[in-house]
Structure 1
Amino acid sequence: MSSKKRNYLPTAIAVYTTFFMCGIIMSISAQYKLQLAELWGEKGNIAAVLSVSSAVGVGGLIGTLAGPISDKFGRRFASIMACLCTVINFAGFMLAPNVTVAYICSLIGGIGNSFMNAGLTPSMQDAYPDKRSMLTVLTKFFVSFGQFILPFAIVAFNAKHISFKIAFWGIALIYAIIGIACFFLPFPESGSQKRQGEKAAAPKVKMHITLEAVILGLMGFSTTALFMVWTNTNQELGKLYGLTNPALLQSVYAIASLVSVLTTSALVQKGLKESTVLTVYPAVTGAFLLLTYFIQSGPMVYAMAAVMGWFGAGGTMQLAVSLLAGLYPAHKATAISIVGLGNALSNWLVIRLCGTITATAGTNAPRVILLMNFVIAVIGVVFGLIVTASQKSRAKKGITSLEEVDNGVDDAVDAE
């Protein structure tokens, strides 16, 4: 049965609920750094919590094979694995007796992230292929919505004197429920499964790797690093610049990101090129990061939070995912895993760097981190320019797919 004839709305609800929870997951550990440090026997050691958070990246690197597994065994299996790993991650955090065990749980959570990207995102692309970019960017909307809700939930928890542990156990429970639901929800077939199901023998389709594909994969690093560095260090920067309630920065960031995702998605639907967004957005972010380094004031930090939400986290990684998946229609999850590899490297490397800078640079650490993030933004601009040039080259040659048929005739050639 074709994806167009099936009702995937229940599956879409589960998918986007998962991404909503993902937004909470991305920020909750940063909000409870001191509590987690004490729980793991490292009272006051924020750097230890950042080290645990960086293990998500290590897990993501290990979970790179989630893409090929999803293409081979289907989106349902990958989605169930994503939920299982996340349950282990957050239940483990609450039961971990020390940082080492917490690190292992975070690593498993990183593997879960890889399965989430390989199972949930391509499932919507397979179900609604005509709305690939919009649906992929929509995942960012729900992630941002989760990040927006989190500060208010924390305020409510504090007002009612509810332990932060309830939030972590709640996340584990919700993912357990979604994981069970995935056994029964309808999932579309992947491109490779459809080919296997065809009665007539079909030639084997192979991925053809070009510079453009590599750069789009590396954008998983640059686009993720920009907002991951911000979400993990903005409160310390706010305190340094004199803010009395730096937690509000997260709300400003999340609101800007929500509006940006909707606006960017609409503009892309109307014809704005994804490669243009991937070049302009990091350029604007980099300019404001530099301004924030030199203009040391509270209002500037709030402006930076809004700019980071709009231009740094406005669905740029999702646009890179959409572009790369579109180049490999029979290997969507594998292509997405390439971006996920860059994402995982970002989670591991930049968070560790932030922890090292925090431990060694003293009170000036947040400003040093601003400069590091500026360099990442510049790298993002360079990547965007390369992708733009590659797209123009492919357009001139009439190349839309980077998959080649193994029958002696290539469907795609190197665009570079």
Structure 2
Amino acid sequence: MSNQLRIGSSIYINYILLGMINLIIALHMGFLTEQLNTDAAAISALISAIGIGKLIALSFAGKLSDNLGRRPMLITACFLYVVFLVAIPFAPTYTVAFMFALLAGMGNSILDTSSYPALIEVFRKRSSSATVLVKAFMSVGSTILPLMITFFMARDMFYGYTFFIMAAIFLFNAIHLFTLKFPEANVLEEVPQTEEEKEKNIKPVKAALIFKEKPKFMREGITVIAIGFTSVGLFLIIQTWLATYAQEVIGLPEAQAINLLSIYSFGGFVTVIILATLLDKLFKPITALIIYPMVAIIALVSLLFVESYAILVVLAFILGMATSGLFQLAVTLMAQFFPEKKGTSTAFVTLSSSIAFITLPYLTGLINRHIGVSYVFMFEIVIAVIAVVLAAFISYRYRKVFDLKSKNKILWRNP
């Protein structure tokens, strides 16, 4: 196996495990409430602690990724997860468990700000496809974990075995990462010189894409960060409230309502595979960032007017397809605009996603409590409209900034 494929495999294995970690506290709530002598609300706060740890680490993870390189940060993330996974089943008190949950959140930020830039640098020609596959592997992890838990529960085995198996894989992957050679972080390709430049002894410059004008963080950067927020909001709100809407408004039984979430997740998995196959071949990330939210708007409006279960299944599948993988595309786009600081730029987009994870569940909860779950989906339509507007603007700026007709991959040069 080539070094390139080994790097990609190690990163994707980490994201399979991350897909499991995103659910592991919630799915072991019964065991943890008994172990830590607390209630379900406190265990839910452990999940929030992971989000807090993620926010804390974002203040330094991106810069360290750019300065120290991708490999040491990936290895650090693996070891942080090993500590978290081994410690939680033995945590004697809630406070101790909370501290280790913070560590897991920090590991999440370190993993994101090193993995996405590494994939972009390793798979230069298929960077969009490489990053969007992250979502697919996380879906694989979220599918595997319930099966593992069921296996151990059926045999009345210690719940911690699930944690220990994951820790062992993280440890093995960390050791494997030591043996891999990563491309140097943020290294840009040398620009081919013209004959006139050679005659004038102009020094060659290095870069990644031809810029007709230099992008600005306060314009292109802030827009992509906002897209990161809306992309998370689009799938998070549907994932959180679709089953509730189906039960309370449509009147479906609980089993059918929950089944809609499975259909939604399957649609997301399908779209990620489609994106990974077709991105950079038939269309660019910016195209998907415009079209997908537009499809989501149509599906969400339809959702408010239908009552047939068969149509709801179709809409759930379409919504899954229209809202998955957008965050990964935003990360790729940010790295294209600011290729000299991929880790730092990834951190900013990841920060916006963290803010979405913290604020939107609370805000939609208030909407549901005071005016009803239907208005949650009206709010979701507003987010989708904002996503389309942001994507249209960044598409306009993309054409202004990049020389799309050039076959060379060069960066804007200072005059």
TM norm. shorter chain > 0.5: yes
Q: What is the deviation of 1:325?
A: 0.8
Q: What is the deviation of 1:72?
A: 0.6
CA contact (8 A) 1:56 1:110 kept: yes
Counterpart residue identity of residue 385, structure 1 = A
Counterpart residue identity of residue 221, structure 1 = F
Counterpart residue identity of residue 13, structure 1 = S
Q: What is the deviation of 1:130?
A: 1.5
2:100 aligns to what SS in structure 1?
helix
Residue 120 to residue 220, structure 1, CA distance change in 2 (3 Å): same
Report the counterpart of residue 351 of structure 2 in structure 1. 341
CA contact (8 A) 1:288 1:304 kept: yes
Determine if the alignment matches structure 1 residue 7 to structure 2 residue 14.
no
How does 1:239-318 map onto structure 2 within 5 Å? 240=248, 241-244=252-255, 248-293=259-304, 295=306, 299=310, 302-313=313-324, 315-318=325-328
CA contact (8 A) 1:51 1:352 kept: no
Counterpart residue identity of residue 308, structure 1 = L
Distance 2:151 2:24 in 1: 14
Report the counterpart of residue 141 of structure 2 in structure 1. 146
**Mean CA deviation greater in 85-94 or 292-301:** 292-301
Deviations 1:57-84 (A, max 9, x none): 3222222221111111011111012112
Report the counterpart of residue 230 of structure 2 in structure 1. 222
Distance 1:228 1:250 in 2: 12
Deviations 1:210-240 (A, max 9, x none): 4122111222222123323444555555655
Distance 1:207 1:389 in 2: 12
Determine if the alignment matches structure 1 residue 16 to structure 2 residue 49.
no
Report the counterpart of residue 112 of structure 1 in structure 2. 107
Residue 161 to residue 402, structure 1, CA distance change in 2 (3 Å): farther
Q: What is the deviation of 1:92?
A: 4.2
2:279 aligns to what SS in structure 1?
helix
CA contact (8 A) 2:215 2:401 kept: no
Counterpart among 150, 166, 170 of residue 171 in structure 1: 166
Q: What is the deviation of 1:194?
A: 9.7
Deviations 1:286-339 (A, max 9, x none): 4434444554665565445423321111x1111111111122222222221121
Distance 2:3 2:318 in 1: 38
Distance 2:168 2:373 in 1: 35
- RMSD of Structure 2 on Structure 1 (CA): 3.7
Determine if the alignment matches structure 1 residue 387 to structure 2 residue 383.
no
CA contact (8 A) 2:4 2:122 kept: yes
CA contact (8 A) 1:56 1:344 kept: no
CA contact (8 A) 1:253 1:308 kept: yes
Determine if the alignment matches structure 1 residue 330 to structure 2 residue 340.
yes
Distance 1:186 1:150 in 2: 31
Distance 1:382 1:38 in 2: 48
Counterpart residue identity of residue 166, structure 1 = Y
Aligned residues, how many? 392
1:244 aligns to what SS in structure 2?
helix
CA contact (8 A) 2:271 2:322 kept: yes
Counterpart residue identity of residue 264, structure 1 = L
Report the counterpart of residue 182 of structure 1 in structure 2. 177
Counterpart among 56, 60, 82 of residue 62 in structure 1: 56
CA contact (8 A) 1:60 1:345 kept: no
Residue 180 to residue 277, structure 1, CA distance change in 2 (3 Å): same
Residue identity over aligned pairs, in percent, reads: 27
Distance 2:384 2:35 in 1: 35
2:283 aligns to what SS in structure 1?
coil
Q: What is the deviation of 1:99?
A: 5.1
CA contact (8 A) 1:148 1:254 kept: no
2:181 aligns to what SS in structure 1?
coil
1:182 aligns to what SS in structure 2?
helix
Distance 2:294 2:92 in 1: 44
2:253 aligns to what SS in structure 1?
coil
Distance 1:342 1:16 in 2: 23
Distance 1:401 1:211 in 2: 23
Counterpart residue identity of residue 278, structure 1 = L
Report the counterpart of residue 384 of structure 2 in structure 1. 377
CA contact (8 A) 2:88 2:100 kept: yes
Q: Which runs of 5+ in 1 are unaligned?
A: 1-5, 196-200, 411-416
Residue 269 to residue 232, structure 1, CA distance change in 2 (3 Å): same
Distance 2:95 2:44 in 1: 13
Distance 1:402 1:97 in 2: 56
Residue 249 to residue 96, structure 1, CA distance change in 2 (3 Å): farther
TM-score (norm 2): 0.79
Distance 1:90 1:235 in 2: 30
